[in-house]
Amino acid sequence: MTIAVFTLSLLGAMALGMPIAFALIVCGVALMSTIDMFDAQIVAQNVINGADSFPLMAIPFFMLAGEIMNKGGLAKRIVNVALIAVGHFRGGLGYVTILASCILASLSGSAAADAAALAALLVPMMVAAGHNKSHAAGLVAAGGIIAPVIPPSIGFVIFGVAAGVSISKLFLAGIVPGLLLGAGLCLAWAWVVRQENLTPPPRASLSEIVKAVVDGFWALMLPVIIVVGLRFGIFTPTEAAVVVAVYSLFVATCIYRELKLTQLYDVFVSSAVTTSIVMFLIAAALVSSWLITVSEISTQIVHLLKPFMGNNTLLMLAIMVVVVIVGTALDMTPTILILTPILMPIVKAAGIDPVYFGVLFIINNAIGLITPPVGVVLNVVCGVSRISMEEIVKGVWPFMIAQLVVLFAMVLFPGLVTIPAKWFGG
């Protein structure tokens, strides 16, 4: 009964056009009424407690860092370094996109921000070089979703808080899987570009390589600082977010000098607006999350999944398929907030490593950002690249399939995640 009330109230509120944050509150109220314990004070208290978490302080700083890097010239220099490194290969601009996506992912943690920056810079270049526009835009969108996987990751922060899992361990465990997603995109791009008869540009000279690396040095140092700081316990993920924001602000204003002091107000306002949306979602989700626990929905779902409980691989496959389906209809943040309190008891009951599950769960949610009809990153790239949704869907499917193959390879071979995670985690 409670499962039906949870599902119908949530989907019903969303079908009426209600914002997801309010739909989550409505869902929580419906569950409270069902188990006869409605109290407005409990709703208010859970909303307040939902945002009252020190690790969540990382979100506004990562949002701010992403805005600064896009407007302060750091993203542009990363793309230039990638262009010099791999631009001379056949279909080189595609590999530039993938390499730049991996590097930018280690700076901001926001898929939409990275995809917007790369779409503005690279889609016109790829079209001018003769590449199909739908494939170019699709590759940029697929590359953008590496951002929630390679640290720093806003998705890992939200999941870590919701699931009670170490955010530092999630960050370090996401490095190799993120790079594997990039490798999957390289293979898919090599298959796509075989159909295009294009002449690659000449290899860059040594002086051009040195110039690009020197110019991009300060931007390239940021991922090194983050990984070293987390690996050796110099700072926590929340403190890392502050380091990223302050460092990128210093580089953008004092070294590259592309971000003027007069632009800072707009940068701060933009990041504050985005942060407020995410934080309200998280606060509202705690209402339904608390009710999920009280009404024992998780226990009921554990009983439903008992046939899979004896085989962790089958259980993970079943969960991943469910998350893929949900990801076609919901954005990443609400999916994490809704499913985490439901799935974590199942994961713990089956004895699955929560960090391993968290990495696969976030990858799956990231792929949801490029699945129609919602596909937030698809919509961002459509807007920036001035391409229709129908065209970009045609262009993104080879890359989405490649990333799904990588995801299910990690389900079948958990060592792809757990072994590197243990190494990075010391």
pLDDT tens-place string over residues 321-330 = 888 888 876 7
pLDDT bucket at 415, cuts 50 / 70 / 90 = very high
Q: Do residues 143 and 185 lie in contact, with contact meaning Cβ atoms separated by under 8 Å? A: yes
Is residue 35, in this structure, part of any structural domain at all?
no
The answer on pLDDT for 114 being more than 90 is no
Domain membership of residue 192 (yes or no) is yes
Comparing 390 with 365, the larger pLDDT belongs to 365
C-alpha 158/C-alpha 155 separation (Å) is 5
pLDDT band for 364, please (50, 70, 90 cuts): very high
CB contact at 8 A, 62 and 83 = no
Instruction: Name the token pair of 87.
Output: 């631009």
User: What is the mean predicted confidence (pLDDT) over 39-64?
Assistant: 78
Residue 348: closest CA among 200, 164, 222: 164
Residue 318 confidence (pLDDT) above 70:
yes
pLDDT band (50, 70, 90) for residue 49: confident
d(CA 383, CA 140) in angstroms, rounded, equals: 13
Considering 49-53, 105-109, 139-143, 325-329, the range whose residues carry the highest mean pLDDT is 139-143
Q: Is residue 21 part of a domain?
A: no
For 131, 150, 216, 254, the CA distances from 211, given in Å and listed in that order, are 27, 27, 9, 19
What pLDDT, on a 0 to 100 scale, did the predictor assign at position 309? 74
Residue 396 belongs to a domain:
yes
Residue 287 within any structural domain of the chain: no
Q: Pick 307 or 126 by higher pLDDT.
A: 126
Would residue 14 count as lying in a domain?
no
For 122-177, what is each residue's pLDDT tens digit? 888 888 878 889 999 999 999 999 989 998 888 899 999 889 899 989 998 999 99
Q: What is the mean pLDDT of residues 86-90?
A: 73
From CA 395, how far away is CA 383, in angstroms rounded?
15
pLDDT tens digits along 270-306? 888 878 877 887 788 777 777 776 776 666 666 777 7
Model pLDDT, residue 425: 67
Lowest mean pLDDT among 165-169, 181-185, 222-226, 245-249: 222-226
Closest by CA position to 360, among listed 168, 163, 156: 156
Residue 12 lies in a domain: no
- Residue numbers of the domain that contains 234: 55-278+297-425
pLDDT at position 131, please? Answer: 84
Report the interhelical angle of 217-231 vs 237-250 (nearest 10°): 160
171 lies in some domain: yes
Average pLDDT of the chain is: 84
* 347: enclosing H helix or E strand: helix 332-350
* Segment 199-210 mean pLDDT: 78
Domain count of the chain?
A: 1
Nearest to 97 by CA among 84, 82, 114: 82
